[in-house]
Structure 1
Amino acid sequence: MSRLNLLEETRYEKLHVTVYPDQQTASKQVARKIAGLIKSKQDSALPAVLGLATGVTPIKVYQELVRLHQEENLSFKNVITFNLDEYYPMKPDAAQSYVTFMKENLFNHIDIDPANIHIPDGTLNKDEVAAFCLNYEKQIEQLGGLDLQILGIGRTGHIGFNEPGSAPNSGTRVVTLDDLTRSDASRDFGGKEKVPAKAITMGIGTIFKAREIILMAWSQKKAPIIKKAVEGEISGEVPATYLQLSGQVEFVLDEGAASELTRFDTPWLVKDCIWTNQLKKKAVIWLAGKLSKPVLKLTEEDYNNHGMAQLAVEQGPVYNINIDIFNQIQHTITGWPGGKPNADDSQRPERALPAQKRSIVFSPHPDDDVISMGGTFIRLVDQGHDVHVAYQTSGNTAVWDDDVLRYVEFAIDFNDSIGDDSAKLKAIYEDMTSFMKNKQPNQIDTQEIRNVKGFIRKAEAIAGSRYAGIPDDHIHFMALPFYETGKTQKSAVGEEDIKLTMELLQKVKPHQIFAAGDFADPHGTHVVCFNIILAALQRLKQTEEWVKDCWLWLYRGAWHEFETHEIEMAVPLSPQEVLRKRHAIFKHQSQKDTPVFPGDDDREFWVRAEDRNRETANRYNQLGLAEYEAMEAFVQYKF
Structure 2
Amino acid sequence: MARLNLLEETRFEKVPVTVYENQQIASKAVAQRIASLIRQKQTKGELAVLGLATGVTPLRVYAELVRLHREEALSFKNVVTFNLDEYYPMLATAQQSYVTFMHENLFNHIDIARNNIHIPDGTLPLEELHAYCMVYERKIEQLGGLDLQILGIGRTGHIGFNEPGSAPNSGTRLVTLNDLTRRDASRDFGGKENVPTKAITMGIGTIFKAREIILMAWNGKKAPIIKKAVEGEISSEVPATYLQLSDNVEFVLDKDAASELTRFNTPWLVKDCEWDEQLIKKAVIWLSNTVKRPILKLTDDDYNNHGMAQLATEKGPAYNINIDVFNKLQRTITGWPGGKPGSDNQQRPERAQPEKKRVIIFSPHPDDDVISMGGTFIRLADQGHDVHVAYQTSGNTAVWDDDVLRYMEFAIDFNDSIGKDSSHLQKIYADMRSFIETKQPNQIDTQEIRNVKAFIRKTEAIAGARYAGLADDHIHFMALPFYETGKTQKNTVTDVDVELTMELLQQVKPHQIFAAGDFADPHGTHIVCFNIIVEAMNRLRQTEKWTNDCWLWMYRGAWHEFETHEIEMAVPLSPQEVERKRNAIFKHQSQKDTPVFPGEDAREFWVRAEDRNRETAAMYDKLGLANYEAMEAFVRWKF
Q: Check whether TM > 0.5.
A: yes
In structure 1, the residue matched to 2:538 is: 538
In structure 1, the residue matched to 2:601 is: 601
Please state if 1:612 is matched with 2:628.
no
Quick one: which amino acid aligns to residue 552 of structure 2? L
Give 1:92 shift: 0.1
What per-residue deviation string (whole Å, max 9, x for no partner) do you get for residues 170-189 of structure 1? 00000011111111111111
Quick one: which amino acid aligns to residue 18 of structure 1? T
Distance 1:74 1:504 in 2: 48
Q: How does 1:41-80 map to 2 (within 5 A)?
A: 41-80=41-80
Give 1:89 shift: 0.6
Distance 1:213 1:237 in 2: 21
In structure 2, the residue matched to 1:312 is: 312
In structure 2, the residue matched to 1:328 is: 328
Distance 2:581 2:553 in 1: 19
Q: How does 1:192-341 map to 2 (within 5 A)?
A: 192-341=192-341
Quick one: which amino acid aligns to residue 280 of structure 2? K
In structure 1, the residue matched to 2:462 is: 462
Quick one: which amino acid aligns to residue 437 of structure 1? E
Distance 1:275 1:300 in 2: 17
Q: Secondary structure at the match of 2:632?
A: strand
In structure 2, the residue matched to 1:443 is: 443
Quick one: which amino acid aligns to residue 415 of structure 1? N
Give 1:495 shift: 1.1
Give 1:410 shift: 0.2
In structure 2, the residue matched to 1:500 is: 500
In structure 2, the residue matched to 1:417 is: 417
What per-residue deviation string (whole Å, max 9, x for no partner) do you get for residues 308-327 of structure 1? 00000001111000000000
Distance 1:278 1:37 in 2: 43
What per-residue deviation string (whole Å, max 9, x for no partner) do you get for residues 224-259 of structure 1? 000000000000000000000001111011111100
Quick one: which amino acid aligns to residue 294 of structure 1? P
Quick one: which amino acid aligns to residue 221 of structure 2? K
Please state if 1:625 is matched with 2:612.
no
Quick one: which amino acid aligns to residue 394 of structure 1? S
Q: Secondary structure at the match of 2:13?
A: coil
Give 1:45 shift: 1.1
In structure 2, the residue matched to 1:634 is: 634
Give 1:67 shift: 1.0
In structure 1, the residue matched to 2:577 is: 577
Distance 1:344 1:241 in 2: 53
Quick one: which amino acid aligns to residue 528 of structure 2? V
Distance 1:298 1:596 in 2: 46
Give 1:342 shift: 1.1
What per-residue deviation string (whole Å, max 9, x for no partner) do you get for residues 460-486 of structure 1? 000000000111111110101111111
Q: How does 1:459-498 map to 2 (within 5 A)?
A: 459-498=459-498
Please state if 1:516 is matched with 2:490.
no
Quick one: which amino acid aligns to residue 441 of structure 2? P
Distance 2:494 2:282 in 1: 38
Distance 2:216 2:96 in 1: 21
Distance 1:578 1:430 in 2: 43
Give 1:355 shift: 0.6
Distance 2:501 2:66 in 1: 33
Distance 1:43 1:550 in 2: 60
Q: Secondary structure at the match of 2:374?
A: helix
Distance 2:76 2:534 in 1: 40
Q: Secondary structure at the match of 1:140?
A: helix
Quick one: which amino acid aligns to residue 458 of structure 1? K
Distance 2:21 2:420 in 1: 61
Give 1:494 shift: 1.0
Q: Secondary structure at the match of 1:350?
A: coil
Instruction: Report % sequence identity.
Output: 80
Quick one: which amino acid aligns to residue 63 of structure 1? A
What per-residue deviation string (whole Å, max 9, x for no partner) do you get for residues 377-424 of structure 1? 000000010000000000000000000000000000001111111111
Q: Secondary structure at the match of 1:356?
A: coil
Quick one: which amino acid aligns to residue 189 of structure 1? F
In structure 1, the residue matched to 2:389 is: 389
Distance 2:83 2:392 in 1: 38
Distance 2:383 2:376 in 1: 10
Give 1:559 shift: 0.5
Give 1:492 shift: 1.1
Give 1:491 shift: 1.0
TM-score, with normalisation over the residues of structure 1? 1.00
Q: How does 1:321-400 map to 2 (within 5 A)?
A: 321-400=321-400
Q: How does 1:124-143 map to 2 (within 5 A)?
A: 124-143=124-143
Distance 1:389 1:98 in 2: 41
In structure 2, the residue matched to 1:434 is: 434
In structure 1, the residue matched to 2:181 is: 181
The structure 1 segments of at least 4 consecutive aligned residues displaced by more than 2 Å after TM superposition are none
Quick one: which amino acid aligns to residue 31 of structure 1? A
Q: How does 1:93-108 map to 2 (within 5 A)?
A: 93-108=93-108
Distance 2:429 2:96 in 1: 29
Distance 2:126 2:500 in 1: 54
In structure 2, the residue matched to 1:18 is: 18
Give 1:281 shift: 0.2
Quick one: which amino acid aligns to residue 180 of structure 1? L
Give 1:40 shift: 1.0
Quick one: which amino acid aligns to residue 36 of structure 2? G
Distance 2:535 2:489 in 1: 22
Give 1:504 shift: 0.7
Quick one: which amino acid aligns to residue 268 of structure 1? W
Distance 1:270 1:135 in 2: 48
Q: Secondary structure at the match of 2:518?
A: coil
Q: Secondary structure at the match of 1:443?
A: coil
Distance 2:249 2:428 in 1: 57
Distance 1:419 1:544 in 2: 54
Distance 1:497 1:34 in 2: 37
Quick one: which amino acid aligns to residue 440 of structure 2? Q
In structure 2, the residue matched to 1:556 is: 556
Q: Secondary structure at the match of 1:514?
A: strand
Give 1:69 shift: 1.0
Distance 2:46 2:498 in 1: 49
Distance 2:556 2:327 in 1: 24
In structure 1, the residue matched to 2:408 is: 408
Distance 1:106 1:543 in 2: 44
Quick one: which amino acid aligns to residue 583 of structure 2? H
Q: How does 1:111-126 map to 2 (within 5 A)?
A: 111-126=111-126
Structure 2: runs of 5 or more not aligned: none
Distance 1:73 1:422 in 2: 63
What per-residue deviation string (whole Å, max 9, x for no partner) do you get for residues 186-219 of structure 1? 1111111111111000000000000100000111
Give 1:619 shift: 0.4
Deviates more, 1:305-314 or 1:67-76: 67-76
Distance 1:481 1:79 in 2: 41
Q: Secondary structure at the match of 1:389?
A: strand
Distance 1:80 1:226 in 2: 29
Q: Secondary structure at the match of 1:359?
A: strand
What per-residue deviation string (whole Å, max 9, x for no partner) do you get for residues 115-140 of structure 1? 11000000101111111101111111
Distance 2:131 2:494 in 1: 49
Q: Secondary structure at the match of 2:296?
A: helix
Distance 2:70 2:527 in 1: 30
Distance 1:536 1:369 in 2: 20
Distance 1:82 1:298 in 2: 56
